[in-house]
Chains A and B, each alone.
Chain A
Amino acid sequence: MPNFENNDTSRPNTTKLPLFTSLSDNIQAIMTTLGNSDDIIVREITIGKTAKQSIALIFIDGLSDTLAITDFIMETLMLELEDIPEVQLGKANEYLKKNCLTICDVRDISNYSTLYSSILNGETIILFDGLVTGLSASTKGAKDRAVAEPSTESVIRGPRESFTETLRTNTALIRRKIKSPNLWIKTKIIGEVTQTDVSIMYINGIANDKIVDEVLARLDKIDIDGILESGYIEDFIQDSKFSMFPLIYNSERPDVIAGELLEGKVAILVDGTPFVLIVPALFTSFLQSAEDYYQHWTISSLIRMLRFFGISLALVAPSLYVAITTFHQEMLPTPMLISIASQREGVPFPAVVEALIMEIAFEVLREAGLRMPRTIGPAVSIVGTLVIGQAAVEAGVVSAVMVIIVALTAICSFLFPAYGLSNTVRVLRFPLMIFAAMFGLFGVMFGIMIIILHLCSLRSFGVPYLSPFAPLILKDQKDAMVLFPRSSLLSRPRLVSKNNTTRGHKYSAYKKRNTD
Chain B
Amino acid sequence: MPKIKTLFLLCMLTLLLSGCWSKRELNELAIVVALGVDKVDDEYEISVQVVDPSEISTKQPSSGRSPVVTYHAKGKTAFEAIRKMTTLTPRKAYFAHLQVVVLGEQLAADGINDTLDFIARDHEFRNDFDVIVSHKSTAKEVLNVLTPIEKIPANKMLNSIKVSQKAWGSTLSVSIDELVNTLSSNTKSAVLTAIEIEGDTKLGINQTNVQRIKTPVILNYIGLAVFKKDKLVGILTEEESRSFNFLNGKIDSTVEIIACPKQGKLTTEITNSTTKVTGQFKNSTPQINVQIDVEQNVGEVECDINLTENKTIQYINNKTAELIKDHIQKTLKTIQQNYQLDILGFGEVLHREDTKKWNEIQDDWSTIFPELAVKVDVRVATQGLGTMQNSLLHKEKE
By a beta-carbon cutoff of 8 Å, the part of chain A in contact with chain B is: 325-327, 329-330, 334, 337-347, 350-351, 400, 437-440
Contact = CB atoms under 8 A, between A and B. Distances in A.
In the A-B complex, the 5 residue pairs with the closest CB atoms: A342-B57, A330-B96, A342-B53, A341-B53, A345-B54
Contacts of A341: 26-27, 29, 31, 51, 53
Interface stretch (B16-24, B164-172, B289-297, B358-366): B16-24
B97 A342 contact: no
Contacts of A334: 31, 33, 97, 99
Contacts of B59: 342-343, 400
Interface in B4-26: 15, 18-20, 22-26
A349 to B, nearest CB: 9
Interface of B: 15, 18-20, 22-27, 29, 31, 33, 51, 53-57, 59, 94, 96-97, 99, 124, 126, 152
Nearest to A324: B26
A330 B27 contact: no
6 contacts: A325-B26, A327-B24, A329-B94, A342-B53, A345-B57, A347-B27
Contacts of B24: 326-327, 329
A342 to B, nearest CB: 3
A338 B25 contact: no
A342 B20 contact: no
B27 A344 contact: yes
A325 B22 CA distance: 12
A347 B94 CA distance: 19
A8 to B, nearest CB: 50
Given A342-B53, A342-B59, 7 more contacts: A327-B24, A338-B53, A338-B56, A341-B26, A341-B27, A342-B54, A347-B27
Contacts of A439: 18
A254 B154 CA distance: 64
A350 B59 CA distance: 22
Given A329-B96, A439-B18, A345 B126 contact: no
Contacts of A326: 23-26
Contact of B57 (A343, A350, A437): A343
A453 to B, nearest CB: 15
B51 A338 contact: yes
A438 B57 contact: no
Given A338-B53, A343-B57, A346-B27, A327 B22 contact: yes
A351 B27 CA distance: 10
Contacts of B57: 339, 342-343, 345
B116 to A, nearest CB: 20
Of B19, B26, B57, chain A has the most CB atoms within 10 Å of the CB of B26
A440 B20 CA distance: 9
A340 B57 CA distance: 9
B18 A350 contact: no
A342 B57 CA distance: 6
A237 B124 CA distance: 54
B147 to A, nearest CB: 16
A164 to B, nearest CB: 48
Nearest to B158: A334
Contacts of A340: 26
Nearest to A331: B96
B23 A330 contact: no
Contacts of B15: 438
B31 A338 contact: yes
A285 to B, nearest CB: 34
A339 B22 CA distance: 22
B25 A350 contact: yes
A440 B19 CA distance: 11
A338 B29 CA distance: 11
Nearest to A343: B57
B97 A329 contact: yes
A236 to B, nearest CB: 27
Contacts of A346: 27, 54
Contacts of B99: 334
A343 B25 CA distance: 12
A251 B59 CA distance: 47
Contacts of B33: 334
A433 to B, nearest CB: 14
Nearest to A323: B23
Contacts of A437: 20, 23
Contacts of A344: 25-27, 53
A151 B100 CA distance: 59
A345 B124 CA distance: 22
Contacts of B152: 338
Contacts of B29: 329, 341
Contacts of A343: 57, 59
B7 to A, nearest CB: 16
A347 B27 CA distance: 8
Nearest to B18: A439
Given A337-B97, A350-B25, A439-B18, A330 B31 contact: no
